[in-house]
């Protein structure tokens, strides 16, 4: 088959966009051997063409209007790396309407409008590739869409926000406060100037929506999932949890069972130190996928960064090029139906509950009465330190619905002997729900 030239319109020349531009050129010889097409960046849309960049880009490639990418009939593939939701959506839908293949790393866009975008893509018979939208350089999308295609996916459980993982790692290793760790993450460029979506869990939440949708085969509505971040994590809890043999990780947890609504949530969780996920530190990401045939698998790598993320975008561009040569659409996508998501109150696990209570007899009895009333078993009670009039009190709670635990907690909070300073963390066993 004759080599075809694939013309690429790149929208966005920020961190990842520049990585894609530079690395397509750096590894051009290798890509030329491996891919039976020539990959050519024909046009680059940027906000400000006159802006100084740390790498020279020929001026005639640049345009300040992304509409130029859409209007250019020679452009086969539009790579959307502008971020944000509204403008990106306009760009992506315009590209699909002109039957251009779309490559995007935009998790927020797909989590919020994936159903609509993939319906349009199906109608126009062009594919949308989005490997870079989840876990940076880790090829988790292709793994689920293609490599594990023969499996019913039972569970996905992953560390998919590098900023939060960096913060939790540094708090534990260096004894930094949450604020100190966040500041360092920003200084190192791991967190955005506005890190809200990272630390409140919603960056991971958007990624969880995409993974859950692939796992279930139906779109998961972003407003149906439960998301917590790391803002309220206390250094004291991290340390105490460690003495118990656990690490705290911000986990996206997805469980699918037959004929039951699925579980999709992002929460800080206790992970046994012996588990591989507990060894994933700093800005690294890892995603565990459990399929009915393959059993337990784990995919580990850089969850962000210019070069790793460009590795995923370039793989998508090569897939797009192969597809264009053969008029082929790869990888199943969720159907346009919505998946049923279990209310977070009904999800079950064990829990770590740290309270701060008056240091006197009878307090535990009150608390135990409340948990018993809500049918929550106590596996163990630990009092880390008990000097002074008040003391921390840690309860390890047995499997119970999150809703029951929250109700019990509301009552415990009302006790005179208990202060508002408390931490509730789930414990992840990575086993089937009981």
CB 380 to its own copies: min, Å: 26
Integer angstrom CA distances of residue 330 from 118, 142, 390:
13, 9, 60
Quick check: is 207 catalytic?
A: yes
**Which CB atom, from 292 or from 346, has the smaller least distance to its own copies?**
292
Q: How far is the CB of 429 from its own copies (least distance, A)?
A: 18
Between 141 and 400, CB nearer to its own copies: 141
What is the token pair recorded at 20? 């894609």
Of 27, 37, 35, 46, whose CA–CA distance to 3 is shortest?
37
* Smallest distance from its own copies to CB 335, Å: 7
H-assigned helices in 231-333: 235-243, 306-326
Of 273 and 373, nearer to its own copies (C-beta) is 273
CB 24 within 8 A of CB 79: no
Which phi-psi region, left, alpha or beta, contains residue 225 (left: φ > 0; alpha: ψ -120 to 50)? Answer: beta
How many whole angstroms separate alpha carbon 171 and alpha carbon 242?
Answer: 12
Say how far apart CA 345 and CA 407 lie, in whole Å.
Answer: 10
Smallest distance, its own copies to C-beta of residue 321, A: 10
395 has which bridge partners?
A: 353, 381
Alpha helices in 175-305, H assignment, sequence order: 178-187, 196-199, 202-216, 235-243
Q: Shortest Cβ distance from residue 8 to its own copies (Å)?
A: 13
Shortest distance in whole angstroms from residue 311 CB to its own copies: 4
Least Cβ distance, residue 299 to its own copies (angstroms): 6
Show Cβ contacts of residue 424 under 8 Å, excluding neighbours closer than 6 positions.
351, 352, 353, 354, 405, 409
Q: What is the 3-state composition of the chain as percent helix, strand, coil, each rounded to the nearest 5? A: 40, 25, 35
CB 113 within 8 A of CB 130: no
Between 30 and 56, whose beta carbon lies closer to its own copies? Answer: 30
Which residues in this chain contact its own copies in the complex, by CB under 8 A? 19, 23-24, 27, 30-31, 33-35, 131, 137-139, 142-143, 146-152, 217, 274, 276, 279, 286, 291-302, 305, 307-308, 310-312, 314-315, 318-319, 322, 325-328, 330, 332, 335
| Catalytic choice (207, 273, 329, 342) | 207
Exposure string (b/e) for 286-307, b if CB count within 10 Å is 16 or more?
Answer: bbbbbbeeeeeeebbbbbbbbb
The helix/strand/coil state of 423 is strand
Least distance between its own copies and beta carbon 284 (Å): 8
In 304-421, where does DSSP find H-type helix? 306-326, 363-373, 402-414
Question: Could you give the C-alpha distances from 69 to 49, 56, 77, 319, in angstroms and in order?
Answer: 15, 21, 9, 20
Taking the complex as a whole, the smallest distance from the CB of residue 214 to its own copies amounts, in Å, to: 10
In this structure, are residues 395 and 323 in contact, taking their beta carbons and an 8 Å threshold?
no
- Taking the least distance from each CB to its own copies, the nearer of 139 and 403 is 139
| Distance, CA of 165 to CA of 172 (rounded, Å) | 11
Pick 152 or 382: Cβ nearer its own copies: 152
Measured in whole angstroms, the distance separating CA 70 from the mean position of its chain's CA atoms is 30
The distance of Cα 90 from the centroid of its chain, to the nearest Å, equals: 24
Q: Where are the alpha helices (DSSP H) in 107-228?
A: 107-124, 140-142, 162-174, 178-187, 196-199, 202-216
Pick 116 or 296: Cβ nearer its own copies: 296
Residues designated as active site? 207
């Amino acid at each position: 088959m004759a080599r075809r030239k694939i013309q690429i319109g790149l929208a966005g020349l920020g961190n990842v966009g520049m990585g894609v531009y530079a690395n397509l050129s750096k590894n051009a010889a290798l890509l030329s051997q491996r891919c039976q097409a020539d990959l050519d960046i024909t046009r680059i849309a940027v906000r400000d063409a006159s802006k100084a960049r740390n790498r020279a880009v020929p001026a005639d490639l640049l345009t300040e209007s992304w509409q130029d990418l859409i209007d250019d009939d020679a452009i086969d593939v539009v790579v959307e790396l502008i971020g944000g939701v509204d403008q990106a959506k306009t760009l992506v839908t315009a590209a699909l309407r002109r039957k251009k293949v779309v490559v995007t790393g935009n998790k927020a866009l797909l989590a919020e409008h994936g159903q609509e975008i993939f319906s349009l893509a199906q109608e126009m018979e062009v594919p949308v590739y989005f490997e870079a939208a989840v876990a940076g350089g880790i090829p988790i999308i292709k793994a689920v869409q293609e490599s594990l295609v023969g499996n019913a996916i039972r569970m996905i459980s992953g560390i998919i926000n590098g900023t939060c993982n960096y913060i939790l790692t540094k708090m534990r290793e260096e004894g930094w406060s949450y604020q100190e760790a966040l500041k360092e993450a920003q200084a190192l460029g791991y967190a955005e100037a506005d890190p809200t979506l990272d630390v409140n869990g919603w960056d991971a939440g958007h990624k969880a929506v995409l993974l859950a949708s692939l796992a279930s085969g139906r779109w998961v509505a972003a407003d149906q999932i439960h998301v917590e971040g790391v803002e309220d994590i206390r250094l004291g809890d991290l340390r105490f949890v460690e003495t118990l043999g656990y690490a705290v990780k911000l986990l996206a947890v997805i469980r699918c069972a037959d004929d039951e609504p699925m579980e999709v949530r992002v929460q800080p969780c206790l992970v046994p130190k012996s588990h591989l996920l507990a060894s994933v530190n700093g800005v690294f990401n890892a995603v565990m996928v459990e399929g009915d045939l393959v059993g337990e698998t784990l995919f580990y790598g850089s969850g962000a960064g210019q070069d790793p993320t460009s590795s995923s975008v370039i793989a998508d561009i090569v897939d797009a090029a192969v597809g264009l040569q053969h008029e082929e659409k790869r990888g199943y996508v969720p159907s346009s139906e919505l998946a049923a998501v279990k209310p977070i109150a009904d999800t079950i696990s064990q829990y770590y509950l740290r309270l701060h209570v008056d240091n006197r007899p009878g307090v535990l009895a009150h608390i135990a009465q409340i948990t018993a009333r809500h049918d929550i078993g106590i596996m163990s009670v630990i009092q880390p330190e008990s000097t002074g009039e008040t003391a921390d009190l840690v309860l390890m709670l047995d499997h119970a619905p999150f809703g029951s635990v929250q109700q019990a907690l509301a009552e415990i909070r009302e006790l005179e002997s208990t202060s508002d300073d408390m931490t509730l963390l789930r414990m992840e066993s990575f086993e089937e729900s009981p």
